[in-house]
Structures are given as C-alpha cells and as structure tokens.
Amino acid sequence: MEFLPLDKKLPFQGLEAIQPQLLETFPYEYRERETEIEITSDEFTAVCPYSGLPDFGSITIRYVPDEYCVELRALKYYLLTFRNVGIYYEHLVNRVLDDIVSCCSPRRITVEADYRVRGGLKTRVSVSFRKP
C-alpha cells in the first residue's frame, strides 16, 4: 500500500466555507424555566486538515436557551457546511459553540464531537460556555 506524500494531500475547503449566517432562531417563550435542549446529529462529516481524509462522527449540542432557540432546519444546513472543511476536532467544537452563542446567546451550552475510530484511535472532544 502506498500513501500520498504530505505535499499531495487531498483537497479540502478552508474555514471560510462554514456558513454561520444560515443559523436562525425563534423566540423562547418560557424564559422563567431552565429547559435543556439536546440536539444530536450522528451523520456529521468534516475533513482532517493534516491528511485530507474524511472524519465521521456525531455532534451533540446541549443548551439552555435565554431569549431565543436555534431553529433545527437551519442548524442542519449549518452543520452540512462543514462537510468538506479541513478542521481539527478541537477547533471544530469551539467553532460550533462560538457560532451558536453568537446566534442565540444561550444561558449555557456544551458542544461535543464524538468521532468514529480512525487509525485505532477513538476521539471525543467537548467544550462548554456559561453566561456570567
């Protein structure tokens, strides 16, 4: 088996392909309650920026809304924009968290990426934010 030389990596898109403007919200009518919303997408795909190979896994977003909730159809389209983007796991969860916080300013949020095994390694990365 022959491997591609590092200077012959497979092509992928840069971070500019991520489209946070696709995210939409709707007003949350029960602000007096701390309702936790959990959204999981088990068909998430991005690209390893080192090898250019696809990474497959699931993304779980848990958040407590304040004034707004994230609209699910818009979230799905936003997550699809990562499909051909070269991004490390550790950067991915932070980018998703930052984009959702910018979109709907939740009380608290955790974003977790749980990737499938590749090269014998299983990786799970999470990041959290809480309003002061």
Where in the sequence numbering do the catalytic residues fall? 48, 55
The H or E element containing residue 99 is helix 89-104
Instruction: Answer for the pair 36, 62: CB distance below 8 angstroms, yes or no.
Output: yes
- Encoded tokens for 75: 């979230």
Q: How far, in Å, CA of 117 to CA of 100, rounded?
A: 27
